Amino acid sequence: MGDWKDAVLFPLRAAGAVAKITGRVTIGIVGFLMMGGGLFLLSPLHYPWVGLPVLAVGLLLLVRAVF
């Protein structure tokens, strides 16, 4: 049976877990949008000096969100 501290601190642990999940989802969304923007700059607009770094940063953010 759990200690009284476990019952008292459970809401804080749950809030921390939800905050961590929300942060990862937010980072993933930003990475996905940046990758899309980078591809948009590369393909129809032909700005590879801008599109490639934006695409790379978006990919890094997406990888950070997953791992």
22-44, pLDDT tens digit by residue? 999 999 999 999 999 999 999 99
Classify residue 21 as exposed, middle or buried by CB count within 10 Å of its CB (0-12, 13-18, 19+). Answer: exposed
Tokens of 34: 């940046």
**Which of 2, 66, 7, 5 minimizes the C-alpha distance to 31?**
66
Above 80 in pLDDT, residue 52?
Answer: yes
- Binned at pLDDT 50, 70 and 90, residue 2 comes out as low
pLDDT > 70 fraction of the chain, expressed in percent and rounded: 97
Q: What mean pLDDT is reported for the chain?
A: 92
Where in the chain are the domains? Answer: 17-66
Above 90 in pLDDT, residue 50?
Answer: yes
pTM, two decimal places: 0.81
